[in-house]
Structure 1
């Protein structure tokens, strides 16, 4: 994940991630952005999927919260089957 701040202190960020499925296990990889606002609320953004098997999908999106600002950004990566998450990990950091 890489970030670029666009609009004042922690109000709007452009986010970029690459999802790579490295296992030939019949399951798909997915990832989503997670943000934490100044009031401590965590927001889970929409999942982005890699259904193509081993390979890479590039996704760009913008996360924003102009009411209370974003104090932490992160990414949650998962291995899934259909709508069921089999396992996942989350990394949150202060920008």
Structure 2
């Protein structure tokens, strides 16, 4: 299951997101979306879990929470919203 985490500060790393979201289940992958030219964060990321139930709990627990100095919005990603070159696991967010 694939989550979208929006409102991230520039200082947030993929490693820190994996650590935070791992408390809800096994995180398979994290991708902070960056500007192609500047390589700076666009303030949102995708987090992949190995099960939809883990993703649902993460949305419930993390949406609207304070993370790295900002309130974040966490929701389930819409199908096809993250174009990935890596073969997706059965559940993504």
TM-score of the superposition, structure 2-length normalised? 0.31
**Structure with the greater relative contact order (CA < 8 A, sep ≥ 6): 1 or 2?**
2
Q: Which has the higher helix share?
A: 2
| TM, length-normalised to structure 1 | 0.31
Structure whose alpha-carbon radius of gyration is higher: 1
